[in-house]
Amino acid sequence: MRLTAMKRIPAAAYVLAALALTAACGTDTGQGRRSLSVTNVPWEARSVTVDGRTYPAPEGVGMELAPDSVRAGGGKIDGRGGCNGFQGTAAVDKESMRVSGYTVTMEACLDDESTAFQKKFLGTLSGANRLSLSEDGRTLRLTDGADALTFTRGARSR
């Protein structure tokens, strides 16, 4: 039986792996960018505020930001705006978020109220440019002037 020698892994590789694991545990990458505090988490919509009026979100409305959304150029965002799913690109940087290039499925809403909510939700999402996270990390708000989306951290269904 022939034994093969194990390749030695340079110490620098261990240091890089340890740094990557340490960064993944925090909420700030040290460059003012939030990572796990807003990404890779299901965010359940609670309400949308448009023109000073707040509308409660129907069950199942929400979004999730991929971990790469904190990198330059952004990453994937997907979710449900009501009757339809959406998918696009989101760039998160400290206290800002910009959604672009999103597509929406073409399922028919069953009533006018659902259609109206979805229009408000997606319009506010695409116009939002300010992101705030509560101290406990459980509430996320996206705002565009007076219009706002409020989310709470959801539980993983998988």
Dump pLDDT digits (tens) for 86-128.
Answer: 999 999 888 889 998 889 999 999 999 999 999 999 999 999 9
Query: What's the pLDDT score for residue 134?
Result: 92
CATH class of segment(s) 33-153: mainly beta
pLDDT band at 7 (very low <50, low <70, confident <90, very high): very low
Phi, psi of 130 (to 5 degrees): -120, 135
Q: Give 77: exposed, middle or buried? Use CB within 10 Å, 0-12, 13-18, 19+.
A: buried
Query: Are 27 and 36 in contact, with CB atoms under 8 Å apart?
Result: yes
pTM of the model: 0.74
